[in-house]
Structure 1
Amino acid sequence: MVGDVVTDVVARHRAPLAPGTDTAADVRTLPGGAGANVACWAAYEGLADVRILARVGTDSGDWHEEQLRRARVHAQVVRDDEVPTTTVISLVDAAAERTFLTGSGAALCLSPGDWSPSLLDGVAHLHLSGYLFFADTSRETALIALRAARERSVTVSVDPASAGFIAGMGVGRFLEVLAGVDVLLPNADEARLLTGLPETADAAAKLSRQFPLVAATLGAGGALVAASGSLRARVPPASARAVDSTGAGDAFTGAFLAARLAGADVAQAAAAGCRAGAHAVTVMGGRPPFR
């Protein structure tokens, strides 16, 4: 994993936000970041050797490294003396839907100097957090890692991360920089944005002409998988009483990749992802509980 480690401030409010005054909420500071969340869920789902390269500020580097260690993730966390750890404000409403306010911070300062080809020694698969592609420095680093993986015949996956950031970057440019990626893991909004198609199944099928395997999450609708231009599997959701949807997609990705690397077919992997996503929405924050 090459990705983002961030500090999440999750505020779960049961009443609608009241502009200009106070709204009661359950507020917690938790470890997060799409990249780190995926790594933790992959480890939680049974992968024995999960590694992550990320950059954090010295303000909270020790805490984040300890949280990853407790989740059984091997962390190479680069400390940044000048830029603080990225902070994300997650506003979670009564329906468990989350809205993010995302700072920049150290995560997007991950630089080519932080990367070494030796990080791929013994690695079966490389996953890149989509957030890296939305800033110049981290995008350069992600592309170096992608090229290095291709040279070693290591498969690569990417989660697009943010429909809002993709729109700001431009769909054409975003798809261009992902050339060579083997597995794309968008949510429904991202899949439709990347193709301009109104139906997620059609969007996933179209994307799978560019990316060999596409696993698209549908929120409460489950997930679907497409390959070589056609739909291969549609997986129903796992039932859950949702508290906070933060990190549900990361849970799906981590479990999907863990299952695939363990030999599962695409339908089995998507089902594992849906189960992990259902588990994720029952707790606050984007990480699995410690075992």
Structure 2
Amino acid sequence: MTRDVRGLLVIGDVVTDVVALHAEPVATGTDTEADITLRPGGSGANTAAWAAHLGGDARLLARVGADTAAWHLNALSGVKTHVTVDPARPTAVVIAMVDDAGERSFLTNRGAARHLGPGDWTDALLDGVDCLHLSGYLMWTPEGLELARIAMRAAKDVTVSVDPASTRFLREFGTERFLAETRAADVIIPNRDEALALTGAAEPERAAELLGDIYGTAVVKLGPAGALLAQDGRIVARAGAVSAGPADRVVDSTGAGDAFAAGFLTARLAGSTRSECLEAGCRAGRRAVGLVGGRPPAVKNATELYPIDTN
């Protein structure tokens, strides 16, 4: 494999997001007024799109349905796509119901994403890649789990990061099983609830320390409170609300964690310090909550959210 390009390969899902913004609680058995929009989404695709938006060399391995393939591929402009078009299944669809605080609930049909598996993999995907990032949603299916195993085994000289993605997934999959399956990863990027679920700790600081001891590097996302980073069992960096920059108005928290992962990993690949990487993740996440859907705006500003080494 060539090692001169600092590429990021994301393996994950491409999803059609139906986003419903509602100011009042959803009323059972009748209508609730909402602003409803259609957006390209998916945890893996969101991370790749944000990484490309931030000036990174972003690649994505995924599956979409033939029904909306052209739309989704066009929306991934700037990302090097390795996307299989499934002629028999629709693209995954998520209905995201977002309340006036920006918090969301999901109804999910995984569609073609459910069938991403070993047949989609080739070791050549790692050419020019310095970081392999796995969305935890990948492991919901036997095919996806086997793909994750194959990819991690192949990534011998590549940093591997993983985002657990969902506390419900962790409960159903099993936290001990998840830790065992992803032990080969070098970086884990959970949110606060996922970190606590994985470790049984009462506080995110202790959870970060425990996960840092397991993986080497643990980055715990704390939402508006920022983030913290542990290495080898010790907290080594923090980013708070102030250091993350002025907060955008919270419109929709969908994709904020994906944007954080992209900001953190892209800055890390660019050679930024640990604190700079955390702050880059926070800025990207805070930018994301001011937008509807999980993707960056169409206009790219590669130097806005983290320092890039141009030497």
Q: Does the TM-score normalized on the shorter chain lie above 0.5?
A: yes
Name the structure 1 match of 2:308: none
Q: State the AA in 2 paired with 1:55.
A: R
Question: TM-score with structure 1 length normalisation?
Answer: 0.96
Instruction: Indicate if the aligned counterparts of 1:58 and 1:84 stay in contact, CA closer than 8 A.
Output: yes
Stretches of 4+ aligned residues off by more than 3 angstroms: none
Partner of 1:262: 270
Q: 1:164 maps to what in 2? A: 168
Aligned with residue 186 of structure 1, among 185, 190, 194:
190
Residue 102 (structure 1) aligns with: 108
The 5 A counterparts of 1:1-291 are: 1-47=10-56, 49-69=57-77, 72-150=78-156, 153-237=157-241, 238=244, 239-291=247-299
SS in structure 1 opposite 2:61?
strand
Superposed CA offset, 1:47-99 (max 9, x none): 1x211110011111111111102xx1111110112221111111100101111
The alignment covers a number of residue pairs equal to: 286
User: What's the C-alpha RMSD, in Å, of the aligned pairs?
Assistant: 0.9
Aligned partner of 2:61: which letter?
L
Aligned-pair distance for 1:162? Answer: 0.4
Identity %: 53
Instruction: Give me the whole-angstrom Cα distance separating, in 2, the residues matched to 1:228 and 1:143.
Output: 23
Task: Report deviation, 1:105.
Answer: 1.1
Q: Give the aligned residue type for 2:160.
A: V
Q: Tell me the CA shift for residue 108 of structure 1.
A: 2.0
Distance 2:262 2:231 in 1: 19
* Whole-Å separation in 2 of the counterparts to 1:228 and 1:131: 26
CA distance in 2, matches of 1:79, 1:16: 37
Q: CA deviation at 1:104?
A: 2.1
Instruction: Give how far 1:240 is off.
Output: 2.0
TM-score, normalization by structure 2 = 0.90
Residues of 2 paired with 1:250 and 1:85: CA distance? Answer: 19
Q: Is the partner of 1:275 in helix, strand or coil?
A: helix
Once residues 203 and 101 of structure 1 are traced to their aligned partners in structure 2, the CA distance between those partners, rounded to angstroms, is 29
What's the CA shift for 1:122? Answer: 1.3
Given that 1:224 and 1:234 are in contact with CA atoms closer than 8 Å, whether structure 2 keeps it comes out as: yes
Are 1:205 and 1:231, in contact at CA under 8 Å, matched by a contact in 2?
Answer: yes
- 8 Å CA contact retained: 1:160, 1:186: yes
- 1:56·1:85 contact (CA, 8 Å) conserved in 2? yes
Please give the secondary structure, in 1, of the residue aligned with 2:39: strand
The one-letter code matched in structure 2 to 1:139 is: L
Q: Which residue type is aligned with residue 46 of structure 2?
A: N
Answer whether contact 1:61 1:77 (CA < 8 A) is retained: no
Do the aligned residues in 2 keep the contact of 1:3 with 1:132 (CA within 8 Å)?
yes
The aligned amino acid for 2:118 is P
Q: Distance in 1 between matches of 2:89 and 2:176?
A: 31
CA contact (8 A) 1:2 1:35 kept: yes
Structure 1 spans left out of the alignment, 5+ residues: none
Distance of 1:12 and 1:105 partners within structure 2 = 24
Amino acid of the residue matched to residue 121 of structure 1?
A: D
Structure 1 position 129, deviation (Å): 1.1
Q: How many angstroms apart in 1 are the aligned matches of 2:161 and 2:269?
A: 12
CA distance in 1, matches of 2:168, 2:184: 23
Deviates more, 1:193-202 or 1:81-90: 81-90
